[in-house]
Amino acid sequence: MDKDWLTFSRPSTEYREGAQKFVQVAKEYGGNRDKIICPCIICQNQCFQLPAIVYEHLVINGINPSYTTWVFHGEQEPILQQHDYANVTETYQMYRDVLAEDDGTGKANLLIGDENFKQKVEEAEASLYEGCTKYTKLSATVVLYKIKASNGATDKLFDELLQALKDMFPEGW
């Protein structure tokens, strides 16, 4: 997908035409053509908007600079490099994104030792509780933080909520 339009200033004709093409491709790609996910700096792929609003947001606010692979708008994710572990999981991808650096050879150098990494991945991907099929320990944490962020909850409120949840569940859970 062409991203050259991002190099132009937002008021320029090239940027506006590129933003319009982006919206058109996203509209064609999306399952719900009435609304598409807005990737602007403010919405950050967390809400659906009418295509005209998405275009306005892109021109007025700009696109979220950390959104470099447009997976919500029709672009395919790059094929992952093979790693020592046979099954590259989402947990590993997140770990690698945070704790690894690219050495230019296409292989990631882990910044910390990963002797216990496989065990940590297994723990993170364990179901939230016995019989739970909807959430893993990691996905539950991510969902809670997403709710906190999208609703502007303070750290104090969030800490109190987590303490209350801890008190509600069986000990050792």
Average pLDDT, the chain: 76
Task: Please state, in angstroms and rounded to a whole number, the distance separating the CA atoms of residues 75 and 170.
Answer: 44
Task: Please state, in angstroms and rounded to a whole number, the distance separating the CA atoms of residues 48 and 40.
Answer: 11
Contact, 72 vs 86, CB < 8 A?
A: no
> pLDDT digit string (tens) for 62-103?
998 888 888 778 777 654 433 333 344 555 556 555 555 545
pTM value is: 0.46
> pLDDT digit string (tens) for 98-136?
555 545 544 444 444 555 666 777 777 778 778 887 878
Q: How many CB atoms lie within 10 A of CB 140?
A: 15
Task: Please state, in angstroms and rounded to a whole number, the distance separating the CA atoms of residues 164 and 1.
Answer: 46
